Amino acid sequence: MIKILIVEDEKAINDLIEMNLTEAGYDCTCAYDGIVAADIIEKERFDLILLDIMLPGANGYELMDYIKPLEMPVIFLTAKGSVQDRVKGLKLGADDYLVKPFEIVELLARVETVLRRAGKTQTIIKVDDIMIDTRAHTVMRGSREIQLTMKEFDLLLLFVRNRNIALFRETLYERVWESDYMGDSRTVDLHVQRLRKKLHWEDKIKAIYKVGYRLEV
């Protein structure tokens, strides 16, 4: 399982991130100040660190100097949104930079991208009785393979990586079809309907009025 360290001193934000990453299938550890985070990192390796800048004990920039030689990917989470702050973080070796407040969907997408770049993505994802192999692009229920098109497979991955989160049709279209959403929902709706039918997930992929869909598991 992919291990992620969340270093964020605001408990409400830390708890929210932990809850959503855990639901997405990640193993999370939390720290609320830089000194505690350094102690944890000294004892344990992580596949990714989410790092706030304004921390008690030692700030994110100082902690980054400690993390860099260990070659663990880092995403900065901060209210500091100026170009100078972003450049400083990236020059210190951060892999990405996310300004608060941010949408959980965007955070999950950034996490997925950085992990993929680092070659640390999850290859097997299990949701209820469905087993997804992201490397082989297969979906199994028990010993039976469920045949999905490429777009249906990508749509399924987007749902399972954002489980229990309402996803706008615009988000679904732009992430799966990789082009701007022009307001025509028929393409998204058709693929969702086919995915529901193939997985027998009519009761799990719920339509959200005037929004889009949510996978409830």
Q: Are residues 201 and 150 in the same domain?
A: yes
**Residue at which a domain ends, from 117, 132, 155:** 117
Helix (H) or strand (E) holding 214: strand 212-215
CATH classification at residue 155:
1.10.10.10
Q: What pLDDT was estimated at residue 34?
A: 94
- Count of structural domains, the chain: 2
Q: Are residues 7 and 76 in the same domain?
A: yes
**136-175 confidence digits (pLDDT tens):** 899 999 899 999 999 999 999 999 988 888 999 999 999 8
CATH classification at residue 78:
3.40.50.2300
Count of beta carbons in the 10 Å neighbourhood of residue 204: 17
Q: Are residues 52 and 97 in the same domain?
A: yes
Q: Are residues 78 and 9 in the same domain?
A: yes
Share of the chain residues as helix, strand and coil, in percent rounded to the nearest 5:
40, 20, 35
Q: Are residues 52 and 21 in the same domain?
A: yes
Return the top range by mean pLDDT from 6-15, 59-68, 88-97, 171-180. Answer: 6-15
Q: Are residues 107 and 194 in the same domain?
A: no
The pLDDT > 70 percentage for the chain reads: 99
How would residue 50 be classed by pLDDT, with cut points 50, 70 and 90? very high
**Residue at which a domain ends, from 93, 117, 141:** 117
How would residue 82 be classed by pLDDT, with cut points 50, 70 and 90? low
Segments in 100-185 forming alpha helices (H): 104-117, 150-161, 169-176
Distance in angstroms (rounded) separating the CA atoms of residues 193 and 9 = 42
Q: Take residue 147 and report the two structure tokens written for it.
A: 């045949």
CB 23 within 8 A of CB 163: yes
Burial of residue 14 (number of CB atoms within 10 Å: 0-12, 13-18, 19+)? buried
Helix axes 60-67, 34-43, angle to 10 degrees: 10
Q: What pLDDT was estimated at residue 81?
A: 64
Distance in angstroms (rounded) separating the CA atoms of residues 192 and 213 = 9
Q: Are residues 112 and 128 in the same domain?
A: no
Return mean pLDDT, the chain.
90
Its domain, for residue 170, covers 124-215
Q: Are residues 17 and 109 in the same domain?
A: yes
Distance in angstroms (rounded) separating the CA atoms of residues 197 and 195 = 5
Q: Are residues 131 and 67 in the same domain?
A: no
Q: Side by side, which strands form the sheet with 130-133?
A: 124-127, 130-133, 138-141, 144-145
Mean pLDDT of the region 94-123? 88
Distance in angstroms (rounded) separating the CA atoms of residues 172 and 159 = 9
Q: Are residues 110 and 190 in the same domain?
A: no
Q: What pLDDT was estimated at residue 122?
A: 72
Q: Are residues 103 and 185 in the same domain?
A: no
**Residue at which a domain ends, from 62, 93, 117:** 117
**182-206 confidence digits (pLDDT tens):** 777 789 999 999 999 999 999 999 9
Q: Are residues 25 and 96 in the same domain?
A: yes
**With 90 as the cut, is the pLDDT of residue 16 above it?**
yes
